[in-house]
Amino acid sequence: MNKKEIDILNVKEDIINENDENAAAFRKELTEKGVYLLNLMGSPGAGKTSTLLKTIEALKGDYRIGVMEADVDSDVDAKTISETGVKVIQLHTGGSCHMDSAMTKQGVEGLGIEDLDVVILENIGNLVCPAEFDVGAARKATILSVPEGDDKPLKYPLMFQVTDVLLINKIDAMPVFDFSMDKLKDNLKNLNKDISIFPISAATGEGVDEWTRWLKADIETWRKNK
């Protein structure tokens, strides 16, 4: 008796391909509207929200900023960001471990961008799923905290391949943890030779000026080239 062949459908690949097409169209739409979207990623506890607070503080005098806080549940981070006075919306993913381009577009529509120059998406906290889905951002930034270790690029290579900027947060804690900046850079060199790296401490403010100067320059370059 012949065994019946089973059809195999690579659903994940199809979903990602469709998302990439949607993301490209959404990125074009945002560009035409003059809105720079930053996708901020990182693990839970890496310091995404605290870094975002410092970033907003440095940018809000020059740009009209909106923030989308993505979480599986709760509105803790959105409430924190709202205290800065910038426009903010909380996005609940209903259990999804990432944001995709359709979800991000829905968030942007809910936020309202007619009066904004820069929108920052604080993505779901993990180093796996968010790396796989293009949300249509102009830039991707990833936060890696010192307590997480310098070996994370080896364990989660895709995240470090796709990101444009890497913020090494909690450098004030380096004396306490076995973290080597040289080892980190060595682990990155075969993954992403163009990545920009900024060691920072969101707690003390160390290095934040360098990061925000880079971001402002990138926004201005994007504006000229869009």
Q: Is the CB of residue 38 less than 8 Å from the CB of residue 59?
A: no
The pTM of this model reads 0.92
Number of domains in the chain: 1
Question: Is residue 122 included in any domain, yes or no?
Answer: yes
Within a domain: 163: yes
Residue 226 lies in a domain: no
Does residue 219 lie in a domain region? no
| In-domain check, residue 221 | no
Rounded CA Rg of the chain: 18
> The domain that contains 74 carries what CATH number?
3.40.50.300
Strands 118-122 and 36-42: parallel
- The answer to whether position 13 is within a domain reads no
Q: What does the pLDDT read at residue 136?
A: 98
**Using an 8 Å Cβ cutoff, are 29 and 113 in contact?**
no
Q: Take residue 70 and report the two structure tokens written for it.
A: 């993505």
What distance in Å separates the CA atoms of residue 104 and residue 120, rounded to the nearest whole number? 11
Domain of 194, in residue numbers: 21-212
- Report, as ranges of residue numbers, the positions in the chain whose pLDDT lies below 70: 1-13, 72-73, 95
Check residue 11 and give its pLDDT. Answer: 46
